[in-house]
Structure formats: structure tokens, C-alpha cells
Amino acid sequence: MATVYIALGSNMDSPHSQLDSALAVLSQHPRIALVATSNRYQTPPIGPQQPDFINAAAQLSTDLSPLDLLDALQAIEQQQHRVRSIHWGPRTLDLDILLYDNFVIESERLTIPHPRMAERGFVLVPLADLDAQLALPSGETVAQLLANCSQQGIVKTTSGEE
């Protein structure tokens, strides 16, 4: 079984409910175990003007291959009406594979570790909730990356707030 970390984000159609639904589907998947989830954070968007995001991270255990897991995550996004029309635009749900064991993958469909996670506080802050000492394939820890990353505008929230 592989240990996988994913990022979750939403800024449309009741973002907390979107994350709740995605986590429920993940926990019911026959080949995915939901091991842990981070706190949730309200974070400013990157890109065009739009509502703030609600972001979180989750640790999974799975026997799915990286591409099969990507397909499963994209299917969940589709179930929740994800539309990919504007780059870095608003979305009902965004599920990204951050780390898959200690794999390094660079393909047309998938890059692991996630290519921009080291510069994104909205990814690293929730990931640090799960394991600040988690080491990436580069040897750097989440805590080390977070120390060099802006956390401006990132506010811990609770699932009842919309």
C-alpha cells in the first residue's frame, strides 16, 4: 500500500460541503483508505479575482497506481461539477496528488511531487498539520519548505463556516 498526500480546495458552491463530499467519497472507495485530514484554511486565491478558497490536505493509503489514483480524483471532481475553463479560476473542487510514497514522476498527465507545492502556503500549511517532518524525495521537509514560503492571508477555519 502506498502512502499518498493530496491537497483539497474549493471556492464555489459551499466550499466546506464540497470538501466534506470529496472526503466522504474517498473514505468509501474500496481501494483507498482515508488515514488523516488536516485542519481547513481560508486562503486568498491565485490568479483572477474570485472568492477565497477553503483548503485542506489528506493522507491516504492506496494500492491504486498513481495514474489510477489521478483518474479516481478527477472522477470525484467531475461528480462535483468541476469545470476547467479558466486557468487558476474558481472551482467547486480541486484534488491534487502532492506526494505518492517517495515517487518522482514527470509525465504528460502527472507530476509528483506536485510541481508548485514548495511555493504554496495554502498547500504546505495543511500538509504540515498532517506531518511537518514529512520528507519529500528531495530530502527537504514540509517544515523547511514552509519556513521559506509566505503564509500571508492563510486563516484556520472550521467546517461550519461558509
**pLDDT tens by residue, 2-27:** 999 999 999 988 899 999 999 999 99
Q: How far apart are CA 1 and CA 158, in angstroms?
A: 31
Instruction: Tell whether 162 is covered by a domain.
Output: no
Residue among 82, 101, 109, 116 flagged as catalytic: 82
Q: Annotated catalytic, 84?
A: no
The number of folded domains in the chain is: 1
**Domain range spanning residue 108?**
2-157
Which residue do the cell numbers 489514483 mark?
69
CATH of residue 85's domain is: 3.30.70.560
94 counts as catalytic: yes
pTM: 0.92
Please report the pLDDT score of residue 161 as a whole number: 47
91 part of the active site: yes
